[in-house]
Structure 1
Amino acid sequence: MKILVINSGSSSLKYQVFDMPNENPICTGLVDRIGLDTGSVSHKVFKDGAQQTFSIQMPIPDHEVGLQQVTSLLVDVEKGVLETLDEVKAIGHRVVHGGEEFASTTVIDAQVKDKIKELFALAPLHNPPNYTGIEVAEKVFPNATQVAVFDTAFHQSMPPVAYRYAIPKELYEEKGVRAYGFHGSSHQYVSKKASEYLKEKSSKLIVVHLGNGSSITAIKDGKSIDHSMGLGPMGGLVMGTRAGDIDPSIIFHLINERGYSAKEVNDLLNKKSGLLGLCGYSDMRDVKQAIESGDSDATLAYEIYAYRIKKYIGSYVAVLNGLDALIFTAGIGENDAEMREAACKDLSYLGITLDSDKNKLRSNAIREVQAADSPVKILVIPTNEELEIGQQTYELVNT
């Protein structure tokens, strides 16, 4: 059964085509730097044991343009893997926010779409492009079953002490105001791979997912028990354009004393803050280039980014009452050795000591980067949200 997985992030769109139950994709791709001055498409095809890679540089103003380019590539005579789009029997969509209504993978219908739209305000950078992906896919693949895999589902195991806020309880009971958690497909996939690698069913893990959006999860025995993001995917770690944790007094100061509207503050914290607000660059690759040229704002942004990670590691070691493995994943987590080193610096009291030489080695496999005498393992595990989404989609439509 051919299954297409669409993973729309805030500034990127990843896709894979699987011939399930085979877990090896027949095609993968990345539409990157959406909304920036220069965009790119990297499209890889796997045939007869060989890999072909095609790269396209083009303006990609929004996710709809990116998806249209993807579908063209899939049926291209030279670059494609499908004779017709009807070969795709199901499409698994990553959807960031599912509220409390969706605790599992769900076939998409009109009611599900309406709920995804209702949650736009809680995930303004993600649910709209997720919804766009669904709308475009319905037009292009009218005979395929559309399936939603929600980021929030994995975190439904968090206990009330972790997901409730210290606000009047009717806001939770009547309005659903609570912490939901995000990047669930990534945290679930990586934690499963870690448990398999460690050969331990019972384990205490901290997964650090670092990309344009970043989050960190405390995982005990395979279940999420605390997570850095909350009602929406804005809190916690510093991100590309999102502020992460912030004193709520700042919001009221901006509105009451500085004349900002609520919408302007929301846009400020979601789209103009984080790395972008600190130094003018939202992409970590651009931040590092600026550091190399002597940009002091970029240096400070990098240090703040790492400092926030360290604070969460310390708090989650306390929540777990110990730690078996600290795991880095996603684009920055997997590829930025300097960030891993900065985030682990001076954590030896917690049993976390990095080996600088091991940390600099690159590999697509799971690798250990801790020092020989480190009680806690430090792992770099490539995430594969698309495979997790594909497997969940296949299980749902194949039952």
Structure 2
Amino acid sequence: MANPPTVNGPTGASVAPGATETTGAAARECLVTLNAGSSSIKFALFAIADGTLDLLARGQVEGFGAHPRFEVKPADGPEISRDLAEDEDAHDHKAALETILGWLGENHPNACVVAVGHRIVHGGLKYAEPAIVDDALMAEVEALSPLAPLHQPHNIAGIEAARAAFPGVPQVACFDTAFHRAHPFVNDVYALPRRFYDEGIRRYGFHGLSYEYLARRLAEIAPEVAQKRVVAAHLGNGASMCALRNGRSIASTMGFSALDGLAMGTRCGQLDPGILLYLMTERGMDAAALTELLYKESGLKGLSELSHDMRVLEASETEAARDAIDYYVFRIHREVGAMAAVLNGLDAVVFAGGIGENAWRVRARALERMHWLGIELDPAANAANAERVTTRASRIPVFVIRTDEEAMIAEHTLRLVG
């Protein structure tokens, strides 16, 4: 592995002593962000200058456990992509981080990493703001793993790998649930005995870092509507919607866990809890079997019996694939209406995420059913994934914004570590 970036933390630790001397250039303070998922780690490298952040590169290692692949887009060059051979062993978070550090060390040898920011899916009741990582925080976020089993363990693994790679350097946890913590009581409570709400069984909402970025970006491109009533849809392998007023979250389609609301790649979305009782009592399914069913075998994958990937389903001619897309579109249409009701009206819609930003046919089918809201689609703009996909005559504008969770993680990290 090539020399990783020099690390100068509070303790003076250095992963690659002397790396800057070999280049003859001065060290450059940098910040790294890590977004660890179940089979990938996304990363970004930012230079810090006069309290501002300058993106140097972003990328990911994905597919470990199967076919690992490294992708990176430098800010000043073409995208790099290559399959990782099995002998490189990029099959877990630690090995994937080594691959990332190797590339950074080779291409940014003067980078002096002074902080690392992480995305953590669930912050529970306690964490409504980003926080410095310590052993107590690690224990608390690990205790929340049952509420986000697809994500939390891997977020933790990413932090552990980074703490080992960057000893003494501040690590910052940024929570996806934090953006939603100011919801009104009625939007977060379930109609169970009140003690359960007090104990933390409530709606948390997720994708908060994405929605925080979308609210900020909308204020830049459409300030006339950004502080009004907005429904934002983060549609990817995980999918949710958020009702925004004055740039703040009022309600989310996701609830206690990341299973609720819209259908997703492999997750079921909204489900009658009576189904779970039936599967337990009549089919003999235990918690482990239900977890596998609801998190990994449902959603688009389960409905289509083909794939969780919208691109595969759109290319398929099977009836099951068409049915899966029909249901996905139906739920988008339904939840936009529900979020508009929560907001007592609607002034703008935003699409983001892998599907929201790129699957123009899905957007078209969803929006064409929303004439009753005053939405008039511009087919050419929509097919081009333009920033605005409605006509100028449309009473409600619809925007496509490429979300940037890494930028939000970096900003929170820089603010917290000063």
TM-score w.r.t. structure 1 length? 0.92
For 1:318-372, what per-residue CA distance to the aligned partner results, in whole angstroms no more than 9, with x for missing partners?
A: 1111111100011111111111112212111111221111101146xxx111123
- Asked if the contact 2:41/2:60 (under 8 Å) is kept, the reply is yes
**Alignment correspondent of 2:321:** 298
Shift of 1:138: 0.5
- Asked if the contact 2:118/2:155 (under 8 Å) is kept, the reply is yes
For 1:117-137, what per-residue CA distance to the aligned partner results, in whole angstroms no more than 9, with x for missing partners?
A: 100000001111100000000
Alignment of 1:148-227 (within 5 A): 148-173=173-198, 175-200=199-224, 202-227=227-252
**Alignment correspondent of 1:105:** 130
2:57 is the counterpart of 1:42: no
Match of 1:247 among 272, 286, 289: 272
For 1:357-397, what per-residue CA distance to the aligned partner results, in whole angstroms no more than 9, with x for missing partners?
A: 1101146xxx1111232100000011011001100100010
Percentage of matched positions with identical amino acids = 38
Counterpart Cα distance in 1 of 2:102 and 2:373:
51
Alignment of 1:1-399 (within 5 A): 1-20=29-48, 21-35=51-65, 37-46=66-75, 50-58=76-84, 61-76=91-106, 80-83=107-110, 87-173=112-198, 175-200=199-224, 202-279=227-304, 280-289=306-315, 291=316, 294-362=317-385, 367-398=387-418
SS in 1 for 2:243: strand
> Which structure has the bigger radius of gyration?
2
**Alignment correspondent of 2:17:** none
Letter of the structure 2 residue corresponding to residue 24 of structure 1: D
Shift of 1:218: 0.2
- Asked if the contact 1:10/1:213 (under 8 Å) is kept, the reply is no
- Asked if the contact 2:333/2:369 (under 8 Å) is kept, the reply is no
Q: Which moved more, 1:107-116 or 1:340-349?
A: 340-349
Q: Which ranges of structure 1 fall in alignment gaps of 5 or more residues?
A: none
Q: Which ranges of structure 2 fall in alignment gaps of 5 or more residues?
A: 1-28
- Asked if the contact 2:240/2:254 (under 8 Å) is kept, the reply is yes
- Asked if the contact 1:11/1:33 (under 8 Å) is kept, the reply is yes
Counterpart Cα distance in 2 of 1:43 and 1:104:
29
Counterpart Cα distance in 2 of 1:276 and 1:62:
24
SS in 2 for 1:75: helix
Q: Which moved more, 1:18-27 or 1:318-327?
A: 18-27
Letter of the structure 1 residue corresponding to residue 31 of structure 2: I
Q: For residues 10 and 353 of structure 1, do their structure 2 counterparts lie closer, same or farther at Cα, with a shift above 3 Å needed? A: farther
Counterpart Cα distance in 2 of 1:287 and 1:81:
40
Letter of the structure 1 residue corresponding to residue 356 of structure 2: G
Shift of 1:66: 2.6
SS in 2 for 1:51: coil
Letter of the structure 1 residue corresponding to residue 215 of structure 2: S
Q: Which runs of 4+ in 1 moved over 4 A?
A: none
- Asked if the contact 1:309/1:343 (under 8 Å) is kept, the reply is yes
Counterpart Cα distance in 1 of 2:367 and 2:115:
41
Q: Which moved more, 1:208-217 or 1:62-71?
A: 62-71
Counterpart Cα distance in 1 of 2:327 and 2:39:
22
TM-score w.r.t. structure 2 length? 0.88
- Number of matched residues? 382
Q: For residues 183 and 260 of structure 1, do their structure 2 counterparts lie closer, same or farther at Cα, with a shift above 3 Å needed? A: same
- Asked if the contact 1:89/1:143 (under 8 Å) is kept, the reply is no
For 1:298-337, what per-residue CA distance to the aligned partner results, in whole angstroms no more than 9, with x for missing partners?
A: 1111111111111100011111111111000111111111
Shift of 1:10: 4.0
Shift of 1:34: 4.6
- Asked if the contact 2:385/2:400 (under 8 Å) is kept, the reply is no
Supply the RMSD in Å over aligned alpha carbons. 1.6
- Asked if the contact 2:204/2:257 (under 8 Å) is kept, the reply is yes
- Asked if the contact 1:27/1:81 (under 8 Å) is kept, the reply is no
